[in-house]
Structure 1
């Protein structure tokens, strides 16, 4: 198995993306620790993993709370012996509004959340990974393509911030054999609620691809498991495009 004897922490582990990654990590042999704010969602993912024969534990952790994040990661290492994989997929406070009309306080609050959570969770993992001389920090959903469009407010800016942090983390942690990578999709229809008004959005995701299909949650999990495995040990400071050709590099 790709991740045998590895320990993974997943912030937002009860969500669709975090859950897909956690299930895939566990299926490849990792011991998975799920963090989030909603116990029922975390337990649902953990139960799926356990029914499939995997190892999963849950904890209510606010990924914006420095003391909570550091304490939880320290407890994971005390229990499992290491932290080999760290993933943060908590939701961002996206504000769909032209910047010219956006209150400064709203913009600052949205950016502060992104910066704070990725710095805190990155620091908590990096401290242990540097001592170990190994580890992978995985980001999801960012884009450094420079593309944007009117009216999406903080969405692209927040994503670019995540990618900028990925590059800086990779630069600083590379000498310690710690990798930092990110994944990018053109949208995952499964994550969009099934409502009449959302069907055109899901179809647009498919129509924008070159393969005639969009990435699935299973695709996300499988690629993520490979990326954090030693099979991808040459990859760092890069973004992996799983958009099915919606984004052409």
Structure 2
């Protein structure tokens, strides 16, 4: 989507095969993508990668943090270990800090910059079994809001995107199926049924979950000058599961 909007795309992630697959999609859309295998928990490696990108093109205009870590959903407090509780909190917030710090120093020069982050409805839901997920989601949204206040004097915007579970994510190769396996099994349904019309989708006003394409379209809009007055806010893509 960014390539179609004319952006020069730099992809960084853990798995070379997945990076290469997305780069091929970008090329097929008429764009160009450079790929780099980077461990987001290695702060020095992330800093060096960001410096290399900025050196090659002059600055970084847009950064999208789509990092995720496998975590528990469906286990109540009595059975939840401290390690499982802390896994998403430590993982998600550490990656936000590392990536945001790495790119922010290369933003806000001749052009405004945009940092996009992702959270989940768990930040606002009162449901059992999502303690770590919900706390981490709330932390990501707070991080984005506070970072926006810090970076605004330099013309850098920060916007959080809050989708629901993504209906076509398992087919795209994410770990969504594994993530919801425990909750689906407890309800006696498959993951597809748990996410579908009789499951999470039913809890939205639109009776459906967002798609990857819708999230990408929203990200491209938020990164553009058309959303130039938006910062320190959340784009709610929950299908009406949450009403702001």
Q: Bin the TM-score by the shorter chain.
A: 0.7 to 0.9
Q: 1:42 to 1:160 in 2, by over 3 A?
A: same
Q: 1:171 to 1:58 in 2, by over 3 A?
A: same
- Tell me whether 1:202 sits opposite 2:195 in the alignment: yes
Q: Name the counterpart of 1:136.
A: 114
- Tell me whether 1:218 sits opposite 2:223 in the alignment: no
Q: How many pairs were matched up?
A: 226
SS at match of 2:94: helix
CA-CA distance at 1:128 after TM superposition: 1.2
Q: State which drifts further: 191-200 or 29-38.
A: 191-200
Q: Name the counterpart of 1:234.
A: 229
- Give the alignment's TM-score, normalised by structure 2: 0.85
Distance 1:212 1:104 in 2: 35
Superposition map of 1:1-249 within 5 A: 24-96=1-73, 97-132=75-110, 134-143=112-121, 146-192=124-170, 197-203=190-196, 204-249=199-244
Distance 2:120 2:89 in 1: 14
SS at match of 1:26: coil
- Give the alignment's TM-score, normalised by structure 1: 0.84
Q: Does the Cα contact within 8 Å between 2:60 and 2:106 map onto a contact in 1?
A: yes
CA-CA distance at 1:145 after TM superposition: 5.3
Q: 1:104 to 1:198 in 2, by over 3 A?
A: closer
Q: C-alpha root-mean-square deviation of aligned residues, in Å?
A: 2.0
Q: Name the counterpart of 2:186.
A: none
SS at match of 1:129: coil
Q: Does the Cα contact within 8 Å between 1:142 and 1:163 map onto a contact in 2?
A: no
Q: State which drifts further: 125-134 or 161-170.
A: 125-134
SS at match of 2:34: strand
Q: 1:167 to 1:143 in 2, by over 3 A?
A: farther
Distance 2:61 2:71 in 1: 30
Which structure has the higher relative contact order (CA within 8 Å, separation 6+)? 1
Distance 2:98 2:123 in 1: 25
Q: Does the Cα contact within 8 Å between 1:214 and 1:244 map onto a contact in 2?
A: yes
Which blocks of at least 5 consecutive residues in structure 2 are unaligned?
Answer: 172-176, 182-188
Distance 1:183 1:33 in 2: 20
SS at match of 1:27: coil
CA-CA distance at 1:100 after TM superposition: 4.1
Which blocks of at least 5 consecutive residues in structure 1 are unaligned?
Answer: 1-23
